[in-house]
Amino acid sequence: MPRRVHDAVFAGAEELFNLPTEVKMRNTSDKPYFEYLGQYKTQPFYESLGIDHPTSLDATVSFTNLMWPAGNDSFRESAQGYSELVSELEQAVARMLFESYGVGYYHDYYSKNTNYLLRYFKYSEALMDKQRNEGLLPHTDKTFFSILHQGNVSGLQVKVKDDQWIDAPPSPASFFFLAGEVLMAWSNDRIPACWHQVIRKEKATRYSLGMFSFISGMVNILEELRDETHPIKYKPFDHFEFLHCFKVYLTTNPNTCFIKAFSGV
Ligand SMILES: O=C(O)CCC(=O)C(=O)O
Ligand SMILES: [Fe+2]
């Protein structure tokens, strides 16, 4: 990714979080997890906002005008420019993935029905309890793909084989592609959802970006991905219905991988 795009989008992130809380709280949505999140008693340092359909001019204009009624062209351009780049990368990776499973034709349906969400995250140094490495507890995302990109402060860790946590260090030129629970179901459990967490070791405010992909519509386990050794493991389901159900389930069961309980056979 060009350095100027990286720099511009993180400059935009700082400007966004510097807005008054009541302005940030205008970021609402019918879709769970697409809205402003923050002001948690247990995580006062955490805040995030989301832009639905961030590759679209209309959507980035309306988000920007909601936050800055007098406009903010540099923010708007950086959000859309970043999203276009990352979505192209995401489509290319999705195509390769589908082809590698012999279902390249699925890319047509996928690309027509991808709903992106760009989220901005801030973990404030000021509101952090210095005794603990506060961040985000281990979890799996309810997405198809999650593409994470950190500013210059580290914290992201992913779980690999043998339950080892490894650091995923920030780099202006690279992204972390994580499989979400919906990709796990789509692949009939061939691709496990990636457990990840945020543990901050640096005494600094951390900014991060997440480009999340969702399928607007039904997710079916394709014929080609089922056989005697891989009997069908999920019933067809609607990705957004999954999010709505998780929102209810979440209150009593945070940080769980939910797709099996939701749609497992
Ligand atoms: O802050 C980050 O880099 C990761 C955020 C994350 O994992 C999430 O919101 O699901
Ligand atoms: Fe996550």
Most informative mutation of 148, 167, 214, 258 for ligand 1 (most atoms within 8 A of CB): 148
Please tell me the predicted confidence (pLDDT) of residue 109. Answer: 97
- CA 146 to ligand 1: nearest atom: 10
CA-nearest of 33, 52, 186 to 116 is 52
Complete edge-to-edge strand list for the sheet that includes strand 156-160? 135-139, 196-199, 156-160, 164-167
Token pair in block for residue 134: 């506060």
208 bridge partner residues: 121, 150
The encoded tokens of residue 206 equal 């951390």
| List of E strands, 168-250 | 176-179, 196-199, 206-215, 218-219, 237-238
- Beta-strand (E) ranges in 89-236? 114-123, 135-139, 145-150, 156-160, 164-167, 176-179, 196-199, 206-215, 218-219
The pLDDT value given to residue 251:
74
- Residue 150's identity, in one-letter code, is Q
Tokens of 3: 């350095």
The interface pTM score, or ipTM, of the predicted complex is 0.99
| Residue list, CB under 5 A from ion ligand 2 | 141
Q: Closest-lying ligand to the alpha carbon of 156?
A: 1
∠ CA 231-233-236 to the nearest 5 degrees?
Answer: 120
* Cβ atoms 263, 218 nearer than 8 A: no
**Quick one: pLDDT at residue 133?**
78
Nearest CA to ligand 1 atom 5: 210
Largest CA distance in the chain: 60
3-class DSSP assignment, residue 49? strand
Retrieve residue 65's tokens.
Answer: 């005008």
Angle between helices 73-100 and 57-67 (to 10 degrees): 140
Per DSSP bridges, beta strands 145-150 and 46-52 are unpaired
* Atom of ligand 1 at shortest range from CA of 119: 9
Pocket of ligand 1 (CB under 6 A): 121, 136, 141, 148, 150, 156, 196, 198, 208, 210
Query: What string of pLDDT tens digits covers the 265 residues of the chain?
Result: 899 999 999 999 999 999 999 999 999 999 999 999 999 998 999 999 999 999 999 999 999 999 999 999 999 999 999 999 999 999 999 999 999 999 999 999 999 999 999 999 999 998 887 767 789 999 999 999 999 999 999 999 999 988 999 999 999 999 999 999 999 999 999 999 999 999 998 889 999 999 999 999 999 999 999 999 899 999 999 999 999 999 888 777 778 899 999 999 9
Q: Residue 28 is encoded by which pair of tokens?
A: 């609402």
Q: Look at residue 71 in the predicted model and tell me its pLDDT.
A: 95
Residues listed for the chain: 265
- The separation between CA 69 and the C-alpha centre of its own chain, rounded to angstroms, equals 27
